[in-house]
Amino acid sequence: MARTTILILAMLLVPVAGWCAGSELRTPLLGYLVQEDPLELRAISGIPGAAIRSEPLPLPDGLTRLRLAPGHGFALAERGDTDPGAVLMLDGRGPLPLAPISGALARADLVSFSPSGRSAALYSASEQRLQVLIGLPDRARVSLNEAGLEVVSLAVSDDGEVLLTCDKQGMVYAARAGEKQPVFRAEGLSGMIFLPNRTDALVCDRIRGEVFLLGGFDGTAYSRLLASGLDGPGAVRAASDGLSVLVAGREGNRAWLIDVATAAVRAFELPASPVVFEPLRLPDAYLFASPPGEPAWMLVKSGGETRSYFIPGIDGRDPQ
C-alpha cells in the first residue's frame, strides 16, 4: 500500500516539476536608472528595501539621450541632430524595440510628460519650436507643432488638449483648442504639472514659497492657493489618485505632502536631497534622488504616510 501511494505521488509531481522547469521566475521590476554620460540604462529589481540595480542594459545603436516616462514603461529617445525622436519600450530585458515618431523633434531641451505619460510636451530652444505628442507610447503622433516661441517650462494634460507654458517673465499661459490665455504670474516658477486625468494643474513658486491649483481653462481661469510659507518649494508631483501633492524642497532634505481638498500641509524629512518625484512602476512609488553610480533613493506613499528606501550603488555601495 505504501509503495502504491509513493508511485501515485511521483506521477502527480512529474507534471508540476516539468511546469516549474519550463516557467520563468522573474524578480519584480520597480523601474530604471538612467545615466547620461556615458548613456546607460539599468533596471531596478526587487521590492522596496531589498532592491538592486542591474548591469547596463543593451540599447539600440546611436542613442544619445533617454527620458523616462512616468511609470517607466517606456522612454522618449534621441538619436542625433536629424533623426526624429522615438519611443523606446522598456521591459527589463534587451534588446529593446525603437519606434520613430514621424515629425517629432530630433532634440528637445525641455520634455514634460503628462501624469500618466500618455502625452508629452517638447521644446527646442535652438529652433524655438514647441510640440505636443499624444497617443504615447504605441500610437504616438505630433498633435501640435508651433514655432517662434520662448519657453522655460512646460506641462500638458493627460488627454493632450491643455498645454501650460511659462516664459522668461514668469507668465504662465494656458492653451486649449487654439485659444491661449494668461492664467498665472510666477516670481520664481520651480514646478508645474497637471493632476492625473484632469485639466487642473499645480504650480510651485519658490520665491513666494507657495503652491497653487490652476483650473477653469475652458472658461474663466482661476488660481487657488494650496500652501504658503514653504521654504523653497521645487519639483511637484500629484499622487496617482490626484488627492494629494508631493513637493520637493530645493535645499536640504525637506519635502511636503499637501491634501488638495483641505490644503492641509505636512512637512517631512528625507534621507537625501529630493531632485524630482519620478513615478516608478509600483503605485505611489517615486524615485527622488539618483546620483550617477551612487545609492539612489525611492519614496513610497501609502495614504498620508511616506517611507524612504535606498537602492545600492554600483558594486553594491550603501549610503554612507
pLDDT tens digit sequence for 131-161: 999 999 999 999 999 999 999 999 999 999 9
pLDDT band at 3 (very low <50, low <70, confident <90, very high): very low
Please indicate, yes or no, if residue 78 is contained in any of the structural domains: yes
Please indicate, yes or no, if residue 7 is contained in any of the structural domains: no
For residues 238 and 14, the model is more confident at 238
pLDDT of 6 strictly over 60: no
State the pLDDT at residue 20: 36
CA distance readout (Å), 240 to 59, 114, 127: 30, 12, 34
pLDDT band at 319 (very low <50, low <70, confident <90, very high): low
pLDDT band at 315 (very low <50, low <70, confident <90, very high): confident
pLDDT of 19 strictly over 90: no
Contact of 102 with 139, CB cutoff 8 Å: no
Please indicate, yes or no, if residue 44 is contained in any of the structural domains: yes
Q: Which residue has the cell 497617443?
A: 135
Q: What are the phi and psi torsion angles at 20 (to 5°)?
A: -65, -40
State the pLDDT at residue 91: 85
Please indicate, yes or no, if residue 9 is contained in any of the structural domains: no
Say which CATH number the domain at 157 has: 2.130.10.10
- Average pLDDT estimate for 277-282: 97
State the pLDDT at residue 317: 64
- Residue 159 domain boundaries: 28-316
Q: Picking from 106-120, 185-199, 285-299, 304-318, which range would have the lowest pLDDT averaged per residue?
A: 304-318
- Average pLDDT estimate for 29-58: 95
> pTM score, two decimals?
0.89
Residue 95: is the preceding peptide bond cis (ω within 30°)? yes
d(CA 159, CA 40): 31
Please indicate, yes or no, if residue 261 is contained in any of the structural domains: yes
Structurally, how many domains does the chain consist of?
A: 1
State the pLDDT at residue 179: 87
| pLDDT tens for each residue of 207-255 | 999 999 999 998 889 999 999 999 999 999 999 999 999 999 988 999 9
Please indicate, yes or no, if residue 304 is contained in any of the structural domains: yes
Q: What are the phi and psi torsion angles at 244 (to 5°)?
A: -140, 165
Which of the 8 DSSP states describes residue 200? -
Please indicate, yes or no, if residue 23 is contained in any of the structural domains: no
State the pLDDT at residue 219: 83
Which of the 8 DSSP states describes residue 201? E
| Chain mean pLDDT for the chain | 90
Please indicate, yes or no, if residue 252 is contained in any of the structural domains: yes
Express as a percent the part of the chain with pLDDT over 90: 82
